[in-house]
Amino acid sequence: MKIQATFIQAAAVAALVALLSGCGETTTDTVKQWQAAGNISKLVGATDASSDQDIRLAATEALGALKAEEAIEPLGALIVDQDLGVALNAIRALAQYNSPAAQKHLLSVLEAGTPRGRAIAAEALGECPLPEAVDPLIKMLDDEYEPAVLGAAVSLGKIGNAKAVEPLSAKVQSMSQPLRLACVQSLSSIGGETAIPGLALALGDISDDVRNPAVATLVALGPASIPIAQEALRSTDEKVRQSGMAILEGVNQIPSSGDGFVWYQLGKTQMDKKKILINTAVIEQLASQGGNAVDALLEAAAHPNAAVREHALQALEQIGEPGANKAAEAAETQAGPEAKRWFAGRGNWRGAPSWRLDLWGGVVALNPNFELNPAKTAQLEEMDSDARRVMANSQFMPTREYIPLLVSQLSYTETSGTSNPHMAEHLKLATKQLKRLDRKAELPLIAAVSDPDPQTAGNAAEILMAMGSPNAEPVIIDAFSKQLEAGAPLGDTPFYRALQKIDNPATEPLLIMAYPNAERALQVFKRKYPGARASIMPSQSVYEGDDKPLAFQVGYYSGKHIKEMKVTFRKHKNGEWKPFPALPDALPE
């Protein structure tokens, strides 16, 4: 036992002596001991090509951790080592130095290193900025290895040389999201007004992580970013417009009037896939500017984005007559060839001439997507069975361009008079299509109310009241008055029915001058007995001339029972059709 103990002690002493003298087999544990002892010369020696790879790798890693200046040149020599693993570790080691001497070796890696080596060197060169690193890093932005490009972009931002602004800006719209973000962050780090155009390229980025930092930096740059933000509001890209708004809000420069106000409001418009999300508040804000907003709104009416166009159009419709002349001029000078021809023919539209047609037609003609199907147009112009086939086709989805043709169908006549069996169908189909278009057809229909043809005017008025158009009410009242003065027969006509739907005391003196219908009898009954639950009963007389009475049976609830009252109209000498005998003051019990 004593002999064995003595032998172990001797072996331990021998091993210690060998370690301290550098003799014996070198292992990775040995390298760790040299690192702990700060023995740079031993570590440098262990990187020699004669050593095993694992020893060389461990030694280069240890030298990087120690960051000793005397190890820089030996490590620099290893970056071209035939063992790529050792070369890469040497580059990693040099990357941990924040010294110009180490970075000069890293610069050489950018020119001749492996892809991974270039990536490590590119990223490390930003830690101790060298002016001479800028050009090689800019060149690295076109490297085929993305991590190397990414490292170069990051380092250029850390160096902060304005020379990198343009090359970084060129990569802001790269396919790589990490690279776009790195470029935006580096442009933000470099800062200054020269970075603004590059940052502006990120305002429509699909990634919030890229877009938001760009917006934040532009906000931080203050008033210098306002022109870019104002330009962004005119973009075809919804995200760009929203970014422009965010910048203006961030620098507290929200416009309150003028063109800037118009485009700021239009920046709030949105599309849901292909559907326009109508923002009535935006339209009202735009319309409140009146004639001052017309020029900018006409520019917006030609915008490629459908939501922007629609809100501009509806605002112009609300502004009304002050925009008519400019809209017509814009269409005549700026619209496409097909739209110009269409607009030039507005003198043949129902209700022409009219400022409403000038305004509406001018704005519609500015649409860059203006289109009329030649075959459908020709068929509708014939106003016969071909026109009915078009209007009855479920695939026919009329746009504004077709509205004047559809309004023309409201005057459908034929040689055999109203007995023609197709007339009712024709009017029904045209009415259905115009009602589908709803407020899009409002201005042309209002214009048509003043058309000399009573059938067109009356049918247009009835459609407008079915739409619930308050803008049409004064026009309908005025047109009805003129037709009464001209002696036109208006009793139980579309015009008469339209007038009945207007809740305005001004209609009463007009309604009383035309022979009544059943709806008129019910209207008179309800006005006499407010709150009464009543309806017209099937039995009623037919108009046989002004000298004959017209009687209608009205049913009403009296408690739980239904009672009837006859309402008889007679034409008085002053031309008024009034109940005679007069209705009792109270409903009979």
Distance between CA 542 and CA 294 in Å, rounded? 52
Parallel, antiparallel or unpaired: strands 550-558 and 577-579: unpaired
Give the per-residue pLDDT at 413. 58
* Cα(402)–Cα(412) distance, integer angstroms: 16
Q: How confident is the model at residue 22 (pLDDT cuts 50, 70, 90)?
A: very low
Predicted confidence band of residue 7 (pLDDT cuts 50, 70, 90): very low
Domain 524-589 in CATH 1.10.3470? The answer is: no
The pTM score is 0.80
The per-residue pLDDT for 370 is 97
Q: Give pLDDT tens digits for 372-414.
A: 999 999 999 998 899 999 999 999 999 999 999 999 999 865 4
pLDDT (tens digit, 9 = 90+) per residue, 246-274? Answer: 999 999 999 999 999 999 999 999 888 88
Residue type for position 388: R
Encoded tokens for 142: 């076109």
What pLDDT, in 10s, does the model give residues 44-81?
888 888 788 888 988 888 888 888 888 889 888 888 88
Name residues whose C-beta falls within 8 Å of residue 581's C-beta, 6 or more positions apart in sequence. Answer: 568
Rounded distance between C-alpha atoms, residue 377 and residue 222, angstroms? 54
For 332, the token pair is 């005549």
Mean pLDDT value of segment 547-558: 92
Q: What is the pLDDT of residues 286-332, one digit of tens each?
A: 999 999 999 999 999 999 999 999 999 999 999 999 999 999 999 99
pLDDT the model gives residue 4: 43
pLDDT at 9 over 60: no
pLDDT tens for 96-119 read: 988 889 989 999 999 888 999 999
Sign of CA dihedral 356, 357, 362, 363: positive
| Residues forming CATH 3.10.450 domain(s) in the chain | 524-589
Q: Is pLDDT above 90 for 210?
A: yes
Kindly tell me if the per-residue pLDDT of 349 is higher than 70: yes
User: What mean pLDDT, rounded, does the chain reach?
Assistant: 90
- Residue pointed to by tokens 């290895």: 145
Judged against a pLDDT cut of 60, whether residue 16 lies above it is answered with: no
Report the percent of the chain where pLDDT is more than 70. 94
